[in-house]
Amino acid sequence: MLLLAALLLFQTPQASSAPAAPQEAASRPRPMPLPPVKKPAGQAAWSSTTEEAAATPANKAWLKKGHAVTLTGEVVDLSCYLQLGKKGEAHKACGAKCVANGEPAGLLTKGGKVYMLMAEQHHPRRDGQVSLAAEMASQMGQTITVSGMLVKNGGIPTIYMEAPAK
């Protein structure tokens, strides 16, 4: 440990020999950010668009409430599950139709906990570029494992997960 500290203390910065970038490169428009690459399970984090959307200190503090999780459970249509207790194979067709038409999807764990599932990427979600609807509708009633950022605000535990482009 001391050797590492001594090396860092006595290390001198090297001058960069790379030429400076031309000024015109700085004035080019920036390309639109792409949705993040899928991360391995347990490696979830807020996307750059969500970080950018956290414009105020209060927004940034709100994001800090979230943490990465990986959970396994049955995909349910929250509207029918919360209203009528519908789930499983018997509700697969109805649940898939509800989620495909805009009702929120959820994850029901073996322990009976229910989590709302939301697309994590803020700007693409807001602009209708990404959605979990088709993916969750096709897996309705099945047991899946999801990774994402868990937030519990207002009593609603929600997993924000990377969503595919529409």
DSSP 107-157: EE-TTS-EEEEEE--HHHHHTTSB-SHHHHHHTTTSEEEEEEEEEEETTEE
Indicate whether 2 belongs to any domain.
no
Domain contains 27: no
Mean pLDDT for the stretch of residues 148-158: 94
Q: How far is CA 109 from CA 72, 112, 118, in A?
A: 6, 5, 16
Q: Is residue 32 part of a domain?
A: no
Per the structure, the complete domain to which residue 105 belongs is given by 37-59+66-161
Answer with the residue of higher pLDDT: 136 or 8.
Answer: 136
Query: CATH number for the domain including 74?
Result: 2.40.50
- State how far the Cα of 67 lies from the Cα of 44, in Å rounded to an integer: 8
In a domain, 107, yes or no: yes
Establish if 25 belongs to a structural domain.
no
Instruction: For residue 151, name the pLDDT band (cuts at 50, 70, 90).
Output: very high
pLDDT reading at 21 higher than 70 = no
Q: What's this model's pTM, rounded to 2 decimal places?
A: 0.72
Residue 144 lies in a domain: yes
Lowest model confidence (mean pLDDT) among 22-26, 103-107, 146-150, 151-155 = 22-26
Provide the number of structural domains found in the chain: 1
Per the CB < 8 A criterion, the answer to whether 116 and 99 are in contact is no
Q: Which of 113, 83, 111, 99 is nearest to 141 (CA)?
A: 99
Q: Between 103 and 166, where is the model more confident?
A: 103
Best CA proximity match to 114, nearest among 95, 132, 87:
87
Please give the Cα distance from 45 to 69 (Å, whole number): 10
In a domain, 11, yes or no: no
In a domain, 129, yes or no: yes
Q: What is the mean predicted confidence (pLDDT) over 114-130?
A: 94
* pLDDT bracket for residue 43 (50, 70, 90): low
**23: pLDDT strictly greater than 90:** no
